[in-house]
Amino acid sequence: MEEIAWGQWFFSFDTPKDWANINVQKETTLHNIDGIHGYNENLRLLFGLAGLMGIFLGRFKLFKSIGVPKVLFFWFFIVFLHSLVDVLTKMDDNKQVMQRISELIEMFIGVSAFLYLYLNYRSIKINAE
């Protein structure tokens, strides 16, 4: 069971039949759709880079409200670094190791996205009061 499917497992709902037909792991996940599954290193790289850019841009007043909190630096850096190594080396000899680590990276992506939304929501709410 992977991190994105935890909600499906936690709330005990089955994968819709049409979705299961196009999903490699028969779960309600986007990244395991046939054709995307196994080829999303570039998306992970883009996500990590966007997070790092969001931290940098958050220093400027224009982007302050949507900037990424600095506390998330290592989350985005780990995603970016792993994805960069994966894209540049295409570690064929260690593909199984990279795929196992990719599951952890997918969890990092989910948690960092949640934390970004939560921390920015909290910041906006505090500033509105």
Give the tens place of pLDDT for each residue, 38-80: 667 888 999 999 999 999 999 999 998 899 999 999 999 999 9
Give the tens place of pLDDT for each residue, 108-121: 998 999 999 999 99
The stretches of the chain forming alpha helices (DSSP H) are 6-10, 17-22, 41-57, 73-89, 95-128
Contact 82, 105 (CB under 8 A): yes
What CA–CA distance (Å, rounded) separates 93 from 123? 45
